[in-house]
Structure 1
């Protein structure tokens, strides 16, 4: 396996298996899930890569979620899919993170 940094089809630099992010550097949606609702959540208490992974896994476990990503620097998580916002907040609460929906 190569450790080369590549540019993916979306123009995102990273490893060869990098998925395009749902959050760009300014915390705005860059989702490609056309027609799917995208929820923007402010998540409190995330400090490291392990937190990021836990948050993304908790959000991805909710039925109807098609993609979830967390940006540690902004504290913003973006989730796309056909899902109720309350379900996302409950999933994060179950993972010991407090969050609120950003309009």
Structure 2
């Protein structure tokens, strides 16, 4: 269960039984479907980029989709669609937050 205070949810491409979810481009497909759900709503051409609220990525070699809580506030049915996709396919879900890449500090 996702806590209401979670800011980001990571849907991981690993099933409950530990198998890699297929097809291999599932994260890009899911994020593509969600592309119209964005700040300011859909605009001409917005289908050509991912929504900042539903971003495909890879973490440690595992395909993931990072879903931001702002999607839930914007359109609860869109949020439910993404969460039901994960549940229906037995995908692992984790509450987390992204840490921006920071270049290492120079050595003295």
Same fold (TM over 0.5): no
Q: Which has the higher helix share?
A: 2
The structure that has the greater radius of gyration is 2
TM-score (norm 1): 0.25
| Relative contact order higher in (CA < 8 Å, ≥ 6 apart) | 2
